[in-house]
Amino acid sequence: DAMVIQNPRYQVTQFGKPVTLSCSQTLNHNVMYWYQQKSSQAPKLLFHYYDKDFNNEADTPDNFQSRRPNTSFCFLDIRSPGLGDAAMYLCATSRGQGLEPQHFGDGTRLSIL
């Protein structure tokens, strides 16, 4: 049974049109992460939540925001997607920080028209 669920698997949006990607987890993990992965590149951490504490990476564009309304759900909002934002977006969770394996969802592949 899937424990980290991302919806939708594929998302198409128009240049500049806001889009929201969602992630839910049944693991009751404290930490949730959002990564961006472009073709043949490493997953790149955008931000993470430790419980309700939000932590943004220094090089994450202002265009990207996140919400975590409760333990189970986390959202990635892209306010004005550009062509360069087309990528796979991966949500991951871990029980705590650091030396805890991260569990990934299947990802949402975002295309920009």
Partner 1 sequence: GQNIDQPTEMTATEGAIVQINCTYQTSGFNGLFWYQQHAGEAPTFLSYNVLDGLEEKGRFSSFLSRSKGYSYLLLKELQMKDSASYLCAVCYRNTGFQKLVFGTGTRLLVSP
- Tell whether residue 81 is a contact of partner 1 (CB under 8 A): no
Using the contact rule CB under 8 A, the part of the chain among 18-26, 36-44, 61-69, 72-80 near partner 1 is 36-44
- Tell whether residue 45 is a contact of partner 1 (CB under 8 A): yes
Instruction: Give Cα separations from 30 to 42, 71, 84 (angstroms).
Output: 24, 7, 31
34-68 residues labelled b (16+ CB within 10 A) or e (exposed): bbbeeeeeebebbbbbeeeeeeeeeebeeebbbeb
Angle at 49 between CA 100 and CA 89, to 5 degrees: 85
Gap between the Cα atoms of 53 and 17, Å rounded: 28
- Tell whether residue 110 is a contact of partner 1 (CB under 8 A): no
**Residue from 3, 50, 60, 75 binding partner 1 (CB under 8 A):** 50
Beta carbon nearer to partner 1, 6 or 85? 6
- Tell whether residue 49 is a contact of partner 1 (CB under 8 A): no
**Residue from 23, 74, 90, 112 binding partner 1 (CB under 8 A):** 90
Q: Which residues bind partner 1 (CB under 8 A)?
A: 40-45, 48, 50, 55, 88, 90, 97-99, 101-107, 109
